[in-house]
Amino acid sequence: MHCVGTAVLAAKATDLQKEKYLVPIAQGKHTTSLALSEAGTGGHFYISATTLAEEGESFIVDGEKQFITNGGHADSYVISTVAQDVATGSQSGDFSCLVLDADTPGLEWQQAWAGFGMRGNSSRGLLIHKARVPRGNLLGNKGDQVWYVFEVIAPFFLMAMAGTYLGIAQSAVEATGMHLRSRKYSHTGDALGEIDALQSRYAAMWIALEKSRGLVREAASRGDAAHPEALPFILACKADAAETAVHLANEAMSLCGGIAYRENSRLAQMLRDARAGHVMAPTTDLLKLWLGRALLGVPLL
């Protein structure tokens, strides 16, 4: 979230934003995060109800965010908002991103979140009560948010997430291989890895892993080359990596037997962490929906 938030900041950074955020980030002195999700719109993270109203030299931001990674620990948050007409209170539909400093008055953090997995991730809710933000904190131009979501957030985030879940899948295969080689039966002297059925299941795990790796690499190389058909690969690779990670962590739990089914075993941790892949936006469901639309030439949204 720090890296993707930084990519958003960097995409159209003003000189002031470079000096205030990008230089300290590059020096390792500033951590940022992404705060897009809201309870009202959930996985449809590109739609915000958090309002942005102009008042003199400032914006007044009012709303609520959920599941902010590093919530309460980062130095700033890249947030999404929708413009509001102060006189009428109506929303214009103009979505914008801006950076919110952690020490801005009016921020109220919700209680610490106890995740099923990803336990190093402090994902907290935030209430934003009429926070005053300098106009210089607007990222890009007003109404640019959808550009950020699809041109910056989606490609960086999807590739980073695909790599993360591919890593979990690989760890599950490696842990299974180690167990199959080392666990021996006393009554036969054979290792589990000498049993035909388990050799086949292990082979199927490896095939699934390498298929996913191939898709991730193809997506990354098309993205790097700005290939005109990079998008379907980038959408597909995160959905596929999440499915492969859950499937292989699950398979590993079976092949490694009872010892893996221990509270907080390494494989239990992998299975819990892998499960986050499906629900972290863009969710697997939405990615497949967008992929189908992209392939059929139908608008994504």
Ligand X SMILES: Cc1cc2nc3c(=O)[nH]c(=O)nc-3n(C[C@H](O)[C@H](O)[C@H](O)COP(=O)(O)OP(=O)(O)OC[C@H]3O[C@@H](n4cnc5c(N)ncnc54)[C@H](O)[C@@H]3O)c2cc1C
**Least distance in angstroms from the C-beta of 14 to ligand X:** 23
**Least distance in angstroms from the C-beta of 189 to ligand X:** 44
Contact 137, 184 (CB under 8 A): no
- In the three-class reduction of DSSP (H, G, I as helix; E, B as strand; rest coil), residue 168 is classed as helix
Q: Using CA atoms, how far apart are residues 217 and 237, in angstroms rounded to an integer?
A: 9
Q: Which is nearer to ligand X, 34 or 169 (CB)?
A: 34
**Least distance in angstroms from the C-beta of 188 to ligand X:** 43
Q: Which is nearer to ligand X, 118 or 241 (CB)?
A: 118
Q: Using CA atoms, how far apart are residues 98 and 9, in angstroms rounded to an integer?
A: 9
Q: Which is nearer to ligand X, 207 or 279 (CB)?
A: 279
Q: If you search the block for the tokens 């939405």, which residue do you land on?
A: 286
Q: Using CA atoms, how far apart are residues 14 and 17, in angstroms rounded to an integer?
A: 5
**Least distance in angstroms from the C-beta of 36 to ligand X:** 4
Residue nearest to ligand X (CB): 42
**Least distance in angstroms from the C-beta of 184 to ligand X:** 38
Neighbours of 65 (CB within 10 A): 25
Q: Which is nearer to ligand X, 176 or 244 (CB)?
A: 244
Note if the bond before 282 is cis, omega within 30 degrees: yes
**Least distance in angstroms from the C-beta of 74 to ligand X:** 9
Measured distance between the N- and C-terminal CA atoms of the chain, rounded to whole angstroms: 24
Q: Which is nearer to ligand X, 202 or 290 (CB)?
A: 290
For binding to ligand X (CB under 6 A), which residues are involved? 1, 33-37, 42-43, 45, 67-69, 115, 118, 121, 123, 276, 279-281, 283, 285-286, 289
283: amino acid identity, one letter = T
194: amino acid identity, one letter = E
What the block records as the tokens of 16 is 């002031």
Q: Which is nearer to ligand X, 71 or 223 (CB)?
A: 71
**Least distance in angstroms from the C-beta of 284 to ligand X:** 6
Cα angle, residue 47 at apex, residues 45 and 53 outer, rounded to 5°: 125
**Least distance in angstroms from the C-beta of 273 to ligand X:** 9
Q: Using CA atoms, how far apart are residues 181 and 169, in angstroms rounded to an integer?
A: 19
Would strands 76-84 and 51-55 be described as parallel, antiparallel, or unpaired?
parallel
Q: Which is nearer to ligand X, 198 or 268 (CB)?
A: 268
- In the three-class reduction of DSSP (H, G, I as helix; E, B as strand; rest coil), residue 220 is classed as helix
Q: Which is nearer to ligand X, 16 or 39 (CB)?
A: 39
Beta strands in the chain (DSSP E): 32-35, 51-55, 58-68, 76-84, 91-101, 107-109, 124-134, 138-139
